[in-house]
Amino acid sequence: MQKKYLFILSLLSFVGPAFTSALQGAADGGWNSFRIECRGDSIKTWLNGVPAADLKDGITHSGFIALQVHGVGKREEPLQVRWRNIRLKQL
């Protein structure tokens, strides 16, 4: 069965320095800017303008967009996550 999703950041944590550098620039408690660009089989992401992932996926040709948070560490208190200014643009 073909999967219909990709975890753009969480599964790509193994990509190395680019991913680590992008996460170091993340604002804890503030707003972050996240960009996803999909062209053909190419998927690229940026976190606050820093490249985070660059991959090719020749298997998944369609799917959906989902916003989700993975791994909040050892935090036990409730976590509030918000998104704003979400825009989609056909390339």
Domain of 10, in residue numbers: 1-84
Which one-letter amino acid corresponds to residue 20? Answer: T
- pLDDT tens for the 91 residues of the chain, in order: 445 455 555 444 445 566 666 666 666 777 888 898 989 888 888 888 888 888 888 887 777 788 877 767 788 888 778 889 999 998 8
pTM for this predicted structure: 0.67
* pLDDT at 17 (0 to 100): 61
Q: Using alpha carbons only, give the angle 74, 32, 51 rounded to the nearest 5 degrees.
A: 100
In a domain, 89, yes or no: no
Residue 90 lies in a domain: no
34's enclosing H/E stretch is strand 34-39
Q: How many domains does the chain have?
A: 1
Position 41 in a domain:
yes
Specify if 55 maps to a domain. yes
CA distance 22 to 5: 22
